[in-house]
Amino acid sequence: MLIRAGHLVAAPTETVYGLAADATDSDAVAAIYAAKGRPSFNPLIVHVTDSAMAQTIGVFSPMALKLAEAFWPGPLTMVVPLRVDGRISPLVTAGLSTIALRVPAHPVMQALIRESGRPLAAPSANASGGISPTRAEHVMASLGHRIRMVLDAGPTSEGIESTIVAMGEGVVRLLRPGPVTADQITDLTGLPVVTGGEGDPIEAPGQLASHYAPKKPLRLNATQAQRDEFLIGFGDMPCTINLSMDGNLTEAATNLFAALHQADASAARAIAIATIPETGIGLAINDRLRRAAV
C-alpha cells in the first residue's frame, strides 16, 4: 500500500484532514515537510491506534496516562518524552527529546494506521501557514498536485485542530487550545492548566504568531460589513455566512475553517468576522483567529 511504499496519503481525522506518512521512514517524513513547505524545525504529531501503541513510542507518567485514557480516541495530543527504542524518524520530532502523540477518533484514519501497521506522522494537510482543511476539497485546492491520494470522508466533525498538552510540575501545560478544554482537563486531573511553556521556544514551535492565515486581510470583532468585505457572522446578525445562527460555539468551530476558505475564494476584497465569546472552545477559535489576522 501507499504508506508502506513511503508515499503521502491525505486522510480525515475528527479535527482536520491530515497529510499522513510512515513516521518510521525518514524519506517519507521528509516528503511531508517538502509537500507543505513546512520549516523542518516544526515537529509533527504521530497518530497511533490506541494508548498501548502510544506507550511503545513515548513515556507516560501515571497522570499523562490518565489524561490519555480519558480523552483517547479523540482530539487531544500529548507531548511526552520520546522512548529511545521508539523507532521514530528524528525528522518527526525535529531533533527534540519529546514527541507529540494522538489517537484519532475518525474510523478512516484509524483504519489507515491499522492497515499500514505503522505510526503515522500527520500534520494538517495544507500548505504551511495556510488555513487547515476540514474537507477533501480544501486539501485538493492546497496540495492536490503534490500528493498521491486523498481519502474523502466528507466534512470533519470537530473542525479545529486537537488540543495539545504537556505535563509540568503539578500543572498541565496547554501548548495549543482545542476541542478538549482546560476545564475538562482540570476536572479530570485536579491540576491547574497553564498556557504556554516556561518561555521555552521549542515547546510550541508551531505556535507561530502568523498561522492559519487566509490570503486576504482579516478583521476581527466586526459588527457589520464594510465595503467589499465578506462578513462571517456568529449568532443572529446580517452577514455573508453564519458560523452558528443560535450562537453555538461547537457548531461555530466545525464551520470556521470552511467559512475562511469560502471567504478567501470569494470575490470580496477582505474578510471580517464577528466577535466569538472567549469561553470553552471559543478560546481555541479565537486563538486561530488572532493568528489568522496577523
Name the residues that contact ligand TXA, by CB under 6 A. Answer: 13, 15-16, 18, 42-45, 77, 79, 93, 96, 98-100, 102, 122-124, 161-162, 164, 175-176, 203-207
State the minimum distance, in angstroms, from the CB of residue 166 to Mg ion: 18
State the minimum distance, in angstroms, from the CB of residue 64 to ligand TXA: 13
Question: Which of 122/222 has CB closer to ligand TXA?
Answer: 122
Query: Which of 110, 124, 134, 142 is in the footprint of Mg ion by CB under 5 A?
Result: 124
Question: Which of 16/271 has CB closer to Mg ion?
Answer: 16
Contact partner, 45, from Mg ion, ligand TXA, none, Cβ < 5-8 Å per class: ligand TXA
Question: Which of 113/225 has CB closer to ligand TXA?
Answer: 113
One-character DSSP codes across 250-280: HHHHHHHHHHHHHHHHSS-SEEEE----SST
Contact partner, 137, from ligand TXA, Mg ion, none, Cβ < 5-8 Å per class: none
Question: Which of 124/242 has CB closer to Mg ion?
Answer: 124
Nearest to 158 by CA among 218, 101, 235, 106: 106
Residue 99 CA to chain centroid, in angstroms? 15
Binding span for Mg ion by CB under 5 A among 76-84, 124-132, 177-185, 236-244: 124-132
Say how far apart CA 177 and CA 249 lie, in whole Å.
Answer: 14
Question: Which of 113/231 has CB closer to ligand TXA?
Answer: 113
C-alpha cell at 156: 470533519
Are 138 and 131 a contacting pair, CB within 8 Å?
A: yes
State the minimum distance, in angstroms, from the CB of residue 67 to ligand TXA: 15
State the minimum distance, in angstroms, from the CB of residue 133 to Mg ion: 9
Contact partner, 159, from Mg ion, ligand TXA, none, Cβ < 5-8 Å per class: none
Q: How far is CA 269 from CA 74, 224, 272, in A?
A: 37, 15, 10
Q: Please tell me what DSSP assigns to residue 220.
A: -
Query: The cell 478583521 sits on which residue?
Result: 219
Contact partner, 248, from ligand TXA, Mg ion, none, Cβ < 5-8 Å per class: none
C-alpha cell at 43: 515537529
State the minimum distance, in angstroms, from the CB of residue 233 to ligand TXA: 25
Question: Which of 134/244 has CB closer to ligand TXA?
Answer: 134
242-281: b (≥16 Cβ within 10 Å) or e: bbbeebebbbbbbbbbbbbbebbeeebebbbbbebeeebb
Nearest to 153 by CA among 13, 3, 8, 7: 13
Question: Which of 158/264 has CB closer to ligand TXA?
Answer: 158
State the minimum distance, in angstroms, from the CB of residue 43 to ligand TXA: 4
Q: How far is CA 158 from CA 9, 179, 205, 214, 250, in A?
A: 21, 7, 23, 20, 8
State the minimum distance, in angstroms, from the CB of residue 161 to Mg ion: 6
Residue nearest to ligand TXA (CB): 206
Interface residues toward Mg ion, by CB under 5 A = 124
